[in-house]
Amino acid sequence: MHLKQQKHLFDLPEDVTYLNIASQSPAFNTMHQAGLDGLLQKRRPYLITGSDYFEPVKQLKSLFAQLIDEDNYNRIALIPSASYGIATVTNNIVLKPTDEILIIDEQFPSNYYSWKRLADQYQATIRVVKAPLDEENIGQQWNLDIIKAINTNTAVVAMGHIHWSNGTLFDLKKIREKSKQHEALLIIDGSQSIGALPFSVKELQPDALICAGYKWLFGPYGCGYAYFSETFDNGIPLEENWTNRLDSDNFSGLTNYQEQYKPLANRYSAGESASFLNVKMQIAALQQVLEWTPEAIQHYCKTITQKAVQELRALGFQIEDDDFRTHHLFGIKLPENITPERVKQTLANHNIYVSFRGNYIRLSSHVFNTTEDFKTLIACFSALIKTT
């Protein structure tokens, strides 16, 4: 499937160049309408039925399960944030003082603090695999270093599918093979990849996959998804919500307190995750993402950025080798004679929205972007270089 640009589905002004979906996705029209439908439900609560707390949730979990190539929606939990999902995981891990938790350099804070707390709790060690110094060969060498770092002391490998700030692509298949050899858990943060990059639970077999929902999955802020393997089938949730217990759909028997949870990952869903407003928007969002497909989104982003990447490199910007990065999100390192402050001001003057990470600029695009967006960006950079 080859996608054409889908800007007509969004409400983005013509004079705005939005290359920052990695921070926050814009709502497309059908998702906006779904949110209005959810508001109407709140305005008329007498129309809410018991099944409204459960059936849409099943549909939503099924959609996410389909997206990650998982057959059983009961392995999916609905969470309010990636940090909630990571905390749920660490709440169900016991370590020894000799154990190591392996993470990657400059991991996103929500995928660091819980691991630090866990390591401190058991006097275990956080081991960080640093980014290679050779900036011409980061992705390839980084993957080799990660695989080499997994050893008999490794209890957990906790990392993203890609690096959140520069798009470096990690070879999860080989990392999973090595982690299995040493019986180490593999916990993946998919917040910057799921929805825009193909991912298969069947192929990669992570112990858990945690994902914020407001970026590449187009959900409202305050939603997320988690996949839990059989490793966590009998774990302890962060909270005891009534909807997660067996027979909770029997409203007349709610105070017949139930010892059993619903099967598999249902125990880990956050309270009120059946939020009518959020779930309606999330369903509309995932239906659209599945219609586009991550494969087609990745190909589209590659198509609209290919020429721009060549031109940026020619201007003196450093970008990871194409084989070791993603195309929906990538970082560019500024030439030494251009300060981030000058770039920020110039881009702001032209209504161009990106993310800044030190001397790097993170560019993230989607089907609402076009090659023209990158022409506008490059024109700004060219002007900056000429006046330096």
For 356-380, write each residue's pLDDT tens digit.
Answer: 987 789 999 999 999 999 999 999 9
80: left (phi over 0), alpha (psi -120 to 50) or beta: alpha
pLDDT above 90 as % of the chain = 86
Instruction: Yes or no: say if 281 and 35 are a contact pair by the CB < 8 Å rule.
Output: yes
Q: Is the pLDDT of residue 347 over 90?
A: yes
**Cα–Cα dist 288/63, whole Å:** 10
Other C-beta atoms within 10 Å of 386: how many? 7
pLDDT at residue 212, rounded to an integer? 98
Domains and CATH numbers, the chain: 7-27+294-386 (3.90.1150.10), 37-292 (3.40.640.10)
Strands 100-104 and 154-160, how do they pair?
parallel
Band (pLDDT 50/70/90 cuts) for residue 86 is very high
Q: Is the pLDDT of residue 51 over 80?
A: yes
Place of tokens 């945690």: 210
**Cα–Cα dist 205/164, whole Å:** 21
pLDDT at residue 231, rounded to an integer? 98
pLDDT at residue 1, rounded to an integer? 67
Q: What is the mean pLDDT of residues 117-139?
A: 91
Other C-beta atoms within 10 Å of 350: how many? 14
pTM for the model? 0.95
Q: Is the pLDDT of residue 136 over 80?
A: no
User: Which residue, 387, 386, 369, 381, is CA-closest to 319?
Assistant: 381
Q: What is the mean pLDDT of residues 184-197?
A: 98
